[in-house]
Amino acid sequence: MVTPAPDAAAWYRLERQGGTLRVVVGGAWVRSEARRLDPLLRALDPMGCTRADVDCGGLARLDTIGAWLLLRTKRVLEHRGVTVQPINVDPEYHALVHTIDHECRAPPVTLPPRHTVAMRLERIGRGLCQAVHQGYLLIGFLGLIVFETLATVLRPRRLRVAAVVHQMEETGLNALPIVGLLSFLVGVVFAYQGADQLRRFGADVFTVNLLAVGVLRELGGLMAAIIAAGRSGSAFAAEIGTMNVNEEIDAIQIGGLNLTEVLVLPRLLGIVLTLPLLTFYSNVMGLIGGAVTCYFDLGISVPVFLHQLRGALAGGTFWVGLIKAPVFAFVIGLVGCHQGFQAGRNASSVGRHTTQAVVESIFLVIVADAVFSVLFARLGI
């Protein structure tokens, strides 16, 4: 039994009246008193009584923790077959007690064990199944696009030229500043690192050859494609996903319009037409960045740089990077539009699928680039 303590400390006492146990509580039942009261209340013994009255008339203060301790004691006694009746509860505490009594009845949450081998394997398997399912859906979407493209070729009037021009502006013209800046900086870094290695062998001038092959065959096209995936692929997914949230896609279907013709083909055609131009621009800016590095770090003048560059362009080096650009563009547009249609009607789903569109686009672009590299090596290009 807890005796009354000074300074309005929480207390309670037990009084037995026949078969009734009277629990008189008083003082400040607040959070600071919970550590002291908790073990005492857990050890409370009804002493064979079948009824208990909880007298709250002596309470000076009561907060959420104090009310929870009282209600927990009440439920423990009820579990032991004791009928509990609270009395003399101040009206100002009724709302608090009622809320805790009705909101805190859920069973305790049992957290599953983390980082087990079975859970890791399950996560890997679930991810693999999801990837296969996404691939299946993407192939089906590709078939739909091919069918609608052939229908548009047979009936060119179905093509929305104004929408295509708008998409070319968004995916190409507006991307020039960021593509140019990043390609220039990549050219500077690539030339500097190459010169640092070739200088040890007295082959400084071949930095130009290394720069030409690296930028024109790989880096220029990859930089343009990755930036397009981050800008245009995410924009396609976000725009179509937001239209789905706002029920604009339903309105288009109810109006009897073809979703692929209205939303997908202009975006695909726009990015396919502009990415080769962005790749060419990226190549030029990368070479300019490399030329700047060669001039200031190696002392290679602009005429010498251009002469050496002309010799490095033999064998179709210039066209190898441009040939891959339309394929990269089609992959980016296809994945972006597909993820937009997959988005649900809430903001979190749009954000999730937009991120997934960027990740899938970059992954498939790298895979396609690897396939092209192997193919060109086998063909001797």
Boundaries of every domain in the chain: 11-103, 127-379
What's the pLDDT score for residue 104? Answer: 61
Cβ burial, residue 367 (10 Å; 0-12/13-18/19+): exposed
What's the pLDDT score for residue 335? Answer: 93
What's the pLDDT score for residue 4? Answer: 44
Residue 7 has pLDDT above 60, yes or no: no
What's the pLDDT score for residue 5? Answer: 46
Give which of 208, 221, 185 is closest to 303, Cα–Cα: 208
Per the CB < 8 A criterion, the answer to whether 223 and 286 are in contact is yes
Per the CB < 8 A criterion, the answer to whether 288 and 250 are in contact is no
pLDDT in tens, 270-280: 999 999 999 99
Q: Which DSSP string do the residues of 137-172 spell out, in sequence order?
A: HHHHHHHHHHHHHHHHHHSGGGS-HHHHHHHHHHHT
Q: Looking at residues 165-193, what average pLDDT do you find?
A: 91
pLDDT in tens, 34-53: 888 888 888 888 777 888 88
Least confident of 105-109, 177-181, 315-319: 105-109
CA 284 – CA 286 distance, rounded (Å): 5
The three-state secondary structure class of 30 is coil
Cβ neighbours, 10 Å, residue 154: 8
**pTM for the whole thing?**
0.68
Q: Looking at residues 264-288, what average pLDDT do you find?
A: 92
For residue 167, which amino acid is it? Q
CA 338 – CA 138 distance, rounded (Å): 7
CATH class of the 11-103 domain in this structure: alpha beta
What's the pLDDT score for residue 127? Answer: 87
